[in-house]
Chain A
Amino acid sequence: MLSQPNIQPSQPISPGNVITIAIAVYRANLKTYFRLALIAHLWLCIPIYGWGKYVAISGLISRLAFGELIHLPENVEDANRKLNQRVWSFFWAATLSTFFVFCGFLLILFGSLILFAFIGGLIGFSGIIAQFFSRNATVMITLVIITLILRIAWIVFFVLGIGWYYSRWMIAEIPLAIEDGISGKQSVDRSWELTKSSFLQIQGILLVWVLVSSPLTIWVSNILQIVLKTTRSGLNLEKPGDIIYILFAITMSIFLLPFWQAVKTVLYYDLRSRKEGLDLQRISAQFSQKADQLPLSDR
């Protein structure tokens, strides 16, 4: 008897559930993922190749998480061997997506600045003309209020613009880690393609991610501050405190990496289920008893 999917995949998985599922996957494989995240961070010390390794191992975590999601868990060594050949593709995908995000950031920043400066200029100009004809206090007040609204509108526009643009490149390395036979560039393209018209869902996921990971960071950093204060007053040493702080930040980064990768993987799984019928392919493959061939490579 095959189990039917019990969440209706014609609807997106809700942002809250994406986070809950990601946590559950991470929890079930805590040691493995944490160890991988630690190794990935060690690689960061080596420039260029090490950075590629960092992205590749992040991708490895995603690949393992994806295996869990489709009920076909993969052996860590096997997956690692496969992805090891793609280190440069990972590096390329990460560079490309970072470059795109950076350019988009500048473009949105300056584009919106120019746009809003233009609107603001028009309003200011008309205000001066109005002043010229009638010296009225209400005109001034209205102008001030309009300028204020304009500023808020600019901030909202800017934040949403960046949020939208970033979400399009968010899963850039995931297809490369999970699908076989695609290049770094194709992986980045697929991120753009898959995330199309999922703006609200992805913004929701980012919001809940911040919500859920913040108690951890805030909590631990508060303890740390208390500890640091006592050591500082007791020993009066500045340096060890700083070192502890840096160590803490790195530990947090290691701890949160698998969580973040799992979140992106659940999103990827959801997008592919809805837009490519991934889960239907899977069930259909189970019917024809070729489950071992299908899900990881559809191209």
Chain B
Amino acid sequence: MHFLNRITLQTPESVELEFLLAGIGNRSLALLIDYIVWGSMLFVFTMIVTIFNQLTTGIFQQIFGIQANLWFRAIALMIFFLIYVGYFVFFEVLWQGQTPGKRYTKIRVIRDDGRRESIQQALLRALLRPVDDLLTIGFFLILLGKQEKRLGDIVAGTLVIQEEYLVAPNFQVSSQGEEFVAQLLETANIAQLKPDDFALIRDYLQRRKNISPKAKAELSLNLARQTRTIIDLKKLPPGLTADVFLEAVYLAYQRQ
């Protein structure tokens, strides 16, 4: 959508890359999911440690002596602290700029020059996270800034972008459409069809299964009429539906 912020980056090889910025909505949702996952991890860890401690105190003391409990608690506390501090750093480094929340919302942290995020950036972002969360400073910076950078992003030199996927066409073409292609290539002027017209037909065929029957009937008829005019087809075989016609045009365009 043209309402989402875009950014064009120049790589060191002076290749231009265009990215869609993540946006405040996706980032808020990602943060909420991360806080839930993070909180659950800390909670589950504390529970396990407590239960484990209760069960093994006697055994540990027998083996390691009276100090065992203290050691156990110290180690547990250290691991707790590691999870507490390291959650975002760990995932952002391991998953190349993603955390569970970011992965779910299909967003990713990259560097300002388009390279993948490394441990320095992840650390800086994580260190400044509490500052950004305080008084929701980060929220307003993302909301109002053109590049949607919170303090952590400004200092670390990172951007948060959306991952865009192009879905390859994966629809079925009926056998009638297949049969009509040869005739179409002979009698009609398929070359008149422009890439944009073709893209429209392809999009329609791709998405028609989700479109309600009433809207679909109207839309396919409109498209078929226009396409027929463009490719200058004089005679239509009897009993040909708009959908089959469009399928045939779709195939013919690729085979001309």
Which A residues contact B (CB, under 8 angstroms)?
1-11, 13-21, 23-25, 68-69, 204, 207-208, 211-212, 215, 218-219, 274-277, 280-281, 283-284, 287-288, 298
B5 CB contacts on chain A under 8 angstroms: 24
Which of B26-34, B84-92, B109-117 has 4 or more CB atoms under 8 Å from chain A? B26-34
> A280-B204, A287-B197 are known contacts. Are A212 and B167 too (CB-CB below 8 A)?
no
A14 to B4, CA, bound (A): 12
Asked if B52 is an interface residue, CB under 8 A from chain A, the answer is: no
Residues of A contacting B223 with CB < 8 Å?
A: 280, 284
- A274–B215 Cα gap in the complex (Å)? 11
Q: Which of A2, A9, A204, A298 contacts B196 (CB 8 A)?
A: A2
- Total A-B Cβ pairs within 8 A: 126
B232 interfacial contact with A, CB 8 Å: no
Q: A288 with B226: in contact, given A208-B25, A212-B28, A276-B212 (CB under 8 Å)?
A: yes
B25 neighbours in A (Cβ, 8 Å): 14-20, 23, 208, 212
Of A2, A4, A15, A17, the contact of B1 (CB 8 Å cutoff): A17
Q: Which of B39-47, B70-78, B135-143 faces chain A?
A: B135-143
B210 at the interface (CB under 8 A from A): yes
Report the Cα distance A281→B207, complex, angstroms.
13
Q: State in angstroms the CA–CA spacing of A9 and B29 once bound together.
A: 21
Question: Which B residues form the contact surface with A (CB < 8 A)?
Answer: 1-5, 22-30, 32, 105-106, 135-136, 139-140, 143, 162, 164-167, 196-197, 199-200, 203-204, 206-208, 210-212, 215-216, 218-219, 222-223, 226
Within the complex, which residue of A4, A16, A21, A284 is in contact with B29, where a contact is CB–CB below 8 Å?
Answer: A16
16 additional A-B pairs beyond A8-B165, A17-B25, beta carbons within 8 Å, are A3-B2, A4-B203, A16-B26, A20-B24, A20-B26, A23-B25, A207-B29, A212-B25, A215-B140, A218-B136, A274-B211, A276-B215, A280-B200, A280-B219, A280-B223, A298-B218
Task: Given A208-B28, A284-B200, verify A215-B219 contact (CB < 8 Å).
Answer: no
User: Which partner residue on chain A sits nearest B223 by CB separation?
Assistant: A284
Looking at A23, A69, A277, the one whose CB has the most chain B CB atoms below 10 A away is A277
13 CB-based A-B contacts, threshold 8 Å: A1-B196, A5-B1, A10-B206, A11-B167, A20-B3, A20-B23, A20-B25, A23-B24, A24-B4, A277-B204, A280-B207, A287-B197, A298-B215
Q: How far is the CB of B30 from chain A (nearest CB, A)?
A: 8
Chain A interface, >50% SS class: helix
Residues of A within 8 A of B26 (CB): 14, 16-17, 20
Determine which residue in B105, B207, B226 has the highest number of CB atoms from chain A within 10 A of its CB, and name it. B207
